[in-house]
Amino acid sequence: MPLTVAVQMDPLESINIAGDSSFALMLAAQERGHRLFHYAAEDLNYEAGRVWTRAHPVTVQRVEGNHFSFGDPVKLDLGDEADVVLMRQDPPFDLGYITATHLLERIADRTLVVNDPAQVRNAPEKLFVLDYAHFMPPTLITRSVEEARIFLAEHRSIVVKPLHGNGGKAIFKIDADGQNLSSLIEVFNTAYREPHMVQAFLPEIAQGDKRIVLVDGEVAGAINRMPGEGEIRSNLAVGGSAAKTELTEREREICAELGPELKRRGLLFVGIDVIGGKWLTEINVTSPTGIVAIDRFNGTDTGGMIWDAIERRVRERG
């Protein structure tokens, strides 16, 4: 059955179609005959119990520089006229993002929102993962220079990163001498009101940071992201490169423990990050990426798997 799908995401002209997961999902939906609309989170409106937006009907094609075509904008009632909303705008997970989840939560009883907006709000990447601390590297969340120094003295080498950062931005390594630690915490305390994440540095990052994608709680595939020259960050957005990989026994254990909870929460498309085959560092639920590279290396169709799961959920809702 063809579905009406509203995609809440960043401007289409700014994406890199060679690796963009949202674009891959749109292509997969279109191939199945689903009707696509595009809108931005800031275009959401609420009035008299209705959540609506000015949305563009859109068609997509894998042609660089000519990858989408908009129709005339329409007023789209997301509760009554859409079957599915894909919430795919990139972080930061700021008040605009949070407000969008509150608005979309008001239609979630009528329209399937992927991922579930209340659960996205309640599961920020670097906080949700604390539920699985037994899989994590030693971790401190703090704004205190003194506590960070004590942690550094214990672990000898640490990384400091924003609690709500994304894409490998603003991740710093501090070695045992503690040089610049005080200055870095001061800068972070000025830039962010929330505490920051401090973790023991994992030398295994030199062998890569694995992105594992789970669809409705089941493993769909994985890639190993290798840091660029002179980098500790392996995110593809900051120069990392992707390589084919297999899951370790420990990684399968992590996925088996996370899977049922992700499914229960309606977190249908999730990307987790694991270093050294055993250290879980993030659970990405806002706008996970990686499916294009996974399919390229493995010959799989992760976009198709995601749409199978979405269509199944829509049927179950009646």
Interatomic CA distance for residues 214 and 200, integer angstroms: 26
Above 80 in pLDDT, residue 237? no
Residue type, 120: V
Residue 233: per-residue pLDDT: 58
Above 80 in pLDDT, residue 238? no
Greater pLDDT, 60 or 94: 60
Burial class (CB in 10 A: 0-12, 13-18, 19+), 194: middle
Above 70 in pLDDT, residue 3? yes
Residue 169: per-residue pLDDT: 84
User: Would you state the structure tokens that stand for residue 108, as one six-digit string?
Assistant: 């979630």
Residue 118: per-residue pLDDT: 97
> Please, how many CA atoms are within 13 Å of residue 30, restricted to the half-sphere of its CB?
18
Residue 283: per-residue pLDDT: 97
User: Would you state the structure tokens that stand for residue 123, as one six-digit string?
Assistant: 């599961």
Given the DSSP bridges, would you call strands 218-226 and 209-215 parallel, antiparallel or unpaired?
A: antiparallel
pLDDT band at 242 (very low <50, low <70, confident <90, very high): confident
Report the Cα–Cα distance between both ends of the chain, in Å, rounded.
12
Residue 170: per-residue pLDDT: 87
Rounded mean pLDDT, 262-272: 98
User: Would you state the structure tokens that stand for residue 283, as one six-digit string?
Assistant: 């659970």
Helices 21-31 & 291-298 angle (0-180, nearest 10): 70
- Residue 313 and residue 112 in contact, taking contact as beta carbons nearer than 8 Å: yes
Above 80 in pLDDT, residue 168? no
Rounded mean pLDDT, 204-233: 88
Contacts of 5 (CB under 8 A, 6+ apart): 29, 34, 35, 36, 37, 82, 83, 84, 85, 86
Interatomic CA distance for residues 44 and 144, integer angstroms: 38
User: Would you state the structure tokens that stand for residue 260, as one six-digit string?
Assistant: 């049922």
Residue 47: per-residue pLDDT: 96
> How many CB atoms are located within 10 Å of the residue 283 CB?
26
> Poorest-confidence range of 97-106, 114-123, 236-245?
236-245
Rounded mean pLDDT, 117-134: 95
Interatomic CA distance for residues 115 and 103, integer angstroms: 14
> Helix, strand or coil for residue 181?
helix
pLDDT, mean over the chain: 94
pTM (2 decimals)?
Answer: 0.93
pLDDT band at 234 (very low <50, low <70, confident <90, very high): low
What are the phi and psi torsion angles at 35 (to 5°)?
-95, 125
Residue 93: per-residue pLDDT: 81
Cα–Cα distances (Å) from 30 to 7, 55, 294, 305, in that order, read: 12, 17, 20, 14
Rounded mean pLDDT, 163-192: 92
H helix or E strand, kind and range, residue 4: strand 4-8
Above 90 in pLDDT, residue 268? yes
Q: Kindly list the catalytic residues.
A: 126, 161, 211, 225, 233, 273, 282, 284
Interatomic CA distance for residues 107 and 117, integer angstroms: 10
pLDDT band at 35 (very low <50, low <70, confident <90, very high): very high
Residue 165: per-residue pLDDT: 82
